Each structure stands twice: as structure tokens, then as C-alpha cells.
Amino acid sequence: MDDAHILILVGGTGRGKTHLATALGLVAIHHGKGVSFTMQLI
């Protein structure tokens, strides 16, 4: 987690994308990293 990366999660409704993104964000925050979370509906 030393480098910044953009993560894009793609999948069907109800597959856990938001849950996974939130969990990864919390881990990053616990390691002192900044987190930005956005959703794009297409």
C-alpha cells in the first residue's frame, strides 16, 4: 500500500462491490492512507 492506485470494481447488482471497496478503504485508513470513494452509475 505504498503507491497510489485507482481501483475499478465492475460486476452485477448485489455482487459485493461496495462492500469490498469499503473494506479495502478501511484497511487503507487503518494504515494511515487517504481514501477517496466515488460511484459512477452508467
pLDDT tens per residue across span 4-28: 889 999 999 999 999 999 999 999 9
**Residue 31 to residue 16: CA distance in whole angstroms:** 23
Number of domains in the chain: 1
Tell me the backbone φ, ψ of residue 35, rounded to 5 degrees.
-135, 140
Contacts of 10 (CB under 8 A, 6+ apart): 17
pTM: 0.77
Residue 42: its pLDDT value, please?
A: 73
The answer, yes or no, to whether residue 1 has pLDDT greater than 70, is: no
At residue 2, the pLDDT reads 79
Q: Does the pLDDT value for residue 38 go beyond 80? A: yes
Range of the domain at 41: 1-42
Nine-digit cell string for 15? 455482487
For residue 11, give the 3-state DSSP assignment.
Answer: coil
Contact 1, 28 (CB under 8 A): yes
pLDDT bucket at 33, cuts 50 / 70 / 90: very high
